[in-house]
A = this chain, B = another copy of it.
Amino acid sequence: MKNILGNALTVTLFGESHGVAIGAVIDGIAPGVEVDREYIAAKLSLRRPSGKISTARREMDEYIIESGVYDGKTTGTPICILIPNADTHSKDYSALAGKARPGHSDYPAYCKYHGFEDARGGGHFSGRITAPIVAAGALIQAALKRKGIYIGTHISRLAGIEDAKMCPERDVSALEMVEFPVLDSEAGERMHAAILEAREDLDSVGGVLETAVVGMPAGVGEPWFDTVESVLSHALFSIPAVKGVEFGDGFALADMKGSQANDPYRVENGKIVTTTNHMGGIGGGITNGMPIVFRCALKPTPSIAKTQQTVDFVKGENTDMTINGRHDPCIVHRARAVVDAIAALTLADLLTVRYGTDWLAQ
């Protein structure tokens, strides 16, 4: 299905970093969902580069809703969100043509698109293409909040520095709109310092984002092949830089005993819960009513100013390259808005499959 995500509620993505515009089409949304333009703008600003820890490229992300919204509410027909490109410095990139930036998609893209790809600024592979995902996700996330479903993410690890442990019920709402989302502000300061240090070194750093979703009804998802883990990971691995995804205790579960890993069930206030949540709210691929918890590993930004060994794939010969231009020494904090958006879109899709096309606005 290529550039289309979802089954009942879909998002079609388009655009290149230095093209005319980028955008997304949301299809299958319930009619009557309130569209909060301020909220969407606020989410876009969380993704936008800002300050010294980001690229100097200034993206205003002024978005236009071309269709599907009338009198401030969704009509139920497709919503096209368009973000015109601006402040594109294509000349920065022209010297790179034919040279494979290490860690970037240039060479695999060339193998797929035979040189017809718009390589300027990463083209369709650019992290910039996540902006319409954020806008689309924000529209949906606001609707999920009205249904009692809350999504929040913190930087659980950056450059080897750990944040405090998240308590989903307590933290998700508080985290949602924080620009640099950490629970331990002192750890956050050290992370900032590590980013600036990497920038000084003409280098970059990566990290881990941990997300929790509170309020998902039990009984959503499928045993095969659309487990909640399957559809979430499918979407999350589309985010550039994500190279690992785990649910609940994830890789740590591999070292546990069954007696440690199994979450005991209890009845609490008339509701069935588990006393631990090693499984991250999902059993047999289906939600069990506990918070959904997952983590994404993000590799360090590949665009670094150090000189690197590479090839000219058109000429087929070895070369060196130094990538100038404006780069992010870290995109972990910016990726957070994308992860939240992806979670909102994916879960809303599963809910629409389960409860029908009117549910989100009911």
Contact = CB atoms under 8 A, between A and B. Distances in A.
Nearest to A290: B108
Contacts of A159: 255
A176 to B, nearest CB: 22
Given A25-B25, A223-B125, A233-B245, A73 B206 contact: no
Given A15-B67, A244-B246, A300-B258, A2 B27 contact: yes
A12 to B, nearest CB: 4
A182 interface: no
A160 B225 contact: no
A64 interface: yes
A315 to B, nearest CB: 9
B249 A112 contact: no
Interface in A271-326: 272, 274-275, 278-280, 282-289, 297-304, 306, 308-311, 313, 316-318
Contacts of A308: 259, 262, 264
Interface stretch (A43-51, A53-61, A144-152, A351-359): A351-359
A117 to B, nearest CB: 5
Nearest 9 pairs of A and B residues by beta carbon: A105-B284, A111-B219, A244-B246, A204-B258, A356-B356, A108-B286, A102-B262, A103-B262, A229-B237
Nearest to A330: B258
A186 interface: no
Tell me how many chains of this kind the complex includes: 4
Contact of A272 (B78, B107, B240, B254): B107
A334 B79 CA distance: 27
B105 A286 contact: yes
A208 interface: yes
20 contacts: A3-B77, A12-B25, A13-B225, A32-B114, A77-B123, A78-B124, A103-B279, A108-B221, A112-B219, A157-B254, A206-B255, A225-B234, A227-B237, A230-B237, A231-B234, A237-B285, A258-B303, A261-B299, A264-B308, A265-B310
A173 interface: no
A311 B76 CA distance: 23
Given A254-B157, A286-B111, A4 B225 contact: yes
Given A258-B204, A285-B238, A287-B108, A250 B297 contact: yes
A262 B20 contact: no
B234 A12 contact: no
Contact of A104 (B14, B100, B225, B284): B284
